[in-house]
Amino acid sequence: MNLIRLLLLALGIWLLTLVVKRYLAAAGRKRGGTPRIGTMVRCAVCGLHVPEAEAVKRRDQYFCSAEHRDKASV
């Protein structure tokens, strides 16, 4: 009888960890639908929002591309 109880307990714990793992995975997917990209900045020419890491920066202005940076300097 004790062995059965132990087995049921182990099964219960296993199921619990399975559910928790699934829940955490689902929550992680929901939170990180897109990979972490940091701050979004706005292009000073077209207004497009681009990740700061991909933006072209000049002084205190950001641009979506080098073309727009050049366009702004004209």
Of residues 22-51, which lie at the interface with Zn ion (CB under 5 A)? Answer: 43, 45-46, 48
Beta strand extents in 1-74 (DSSP E only): 40-42, 49-51, 56-58, 61-63
* 60, 44 Cβ separation under 8 angstroms: no
* 42, 57 Cβ separation under 8 angstroms: no
Per-residue contact flags (x/-) with Zn ion for residues 48 to 67, judged by CB under 5 A = x---------------x---
Q: Least Å distance between CB 54 and Zn ion?
A: 12
Binding interface with Zn ion (CB under 5 A)? 43, 45-46, 48, 64, 68
